[in-house]
């Protein structure tokens, strides 16, 4: 377990309390609609997107929710390193191999791609091998089918997406996630870049 997971290793710290406040705010914002999936994105790399995604997932798990964290950054995914997991098989392997039958069900068993963590109630689907076509995999019926299948077996899905200024992956995912959080870095993120991502 790496030092990145401050919400797990130092639950009484000020930073951990901030993550619990973020969790509460997200729940209040979505009190009228059933929030089951949250996409975490940023404008550019290095703004703390994966760190926020992992610690937010920990705080939801600490609240007794069954949480699945999906590393959808198939180019530079790092959730496997944060949690000390095997990098593959992961999301790219699942999406490139799975078929959808005529009844709309996934043919591959998604449980083979879910890894448990040291955090109770928290499971991770790593990014897997770097595919030649990440955007095409994310826009596929298989990705929508995966989220639907996971929603029936857990309370919360947190998706660690890509930086939105670089590639379109997170823009694609924002259409199928229930809510989106954009991570910014103090005195680093440019205002016009943030405005473009929000738009």
pLDDT bracket for residue 83 (50, 70, 90): very high
The count of other CB atoms within 10 Å of the CB of residue 74 is: 25
| Closest to 6 measured CA to CA, from 60, 52, 38, 66 | 52
Calculate Rg over the CA atoms of the chain: 16
* Contact (CB, 8 A) for 125 and 113: yes
As a residue count, the chain comes to 199
Helix axis angle, 14-29 to 49-62, nearest 10°:
80
- Distance (Å) of CA 43 to CA 13, 82, 135, 136: 27, 21, 17, 21
Which tens digits make up the pLDDT trace of 138-168? 887 888 888 888 988 899 999 998 887 767 7
pTM for the full model? 0.88
| pLDDT tops 80 at residue 106 | no
- pLDDT attached to residue 183: 81
Which tens digits make up the pLDDT trace of 33-54? 678 899 998 887 778 889 999 9
């Amino acid at each position: 377990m790496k030092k990145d997971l401050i919400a797990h290793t130092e639950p009484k710290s000020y930073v951990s309390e901030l993550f619990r406040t973020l969790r509460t705010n997200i729940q209040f914002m979505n009190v009228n609609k059933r929030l089951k999936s949250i996409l975490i994105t940023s404008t550019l790399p290095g703004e703390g997107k994966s760190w926020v995604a992992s610690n937010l997932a920990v705080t939801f798990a600490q609240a007794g929710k069954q949480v699945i964290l999906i590393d959808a950054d198939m180019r530079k995914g790092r959730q496997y390193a944060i949690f000390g997991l095997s990098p593959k098989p992961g999301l790219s392997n699942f999406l490139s191999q799975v078929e959808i039958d005529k009844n709309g069900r996934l043919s591959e068993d998604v449980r083979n791609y879910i890894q448990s963590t040291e955090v109770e109630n928290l499971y991770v689907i790593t990014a897997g091998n770097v595919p030649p076509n990440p955007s095409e995999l994310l826009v596929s019926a298989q990705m929508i089918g995966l989220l639907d299948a996971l929603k029936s077996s857990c309370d919360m899905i947190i998706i660690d997406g890509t930086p939105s200024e670089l590639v379109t992956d997170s823009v694609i995912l924002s259409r199928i996630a229930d809510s989106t959080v954009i991570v910014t870095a103090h005195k680093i993120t440019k205002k016009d870049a943030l405005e473009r991502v929000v738009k």
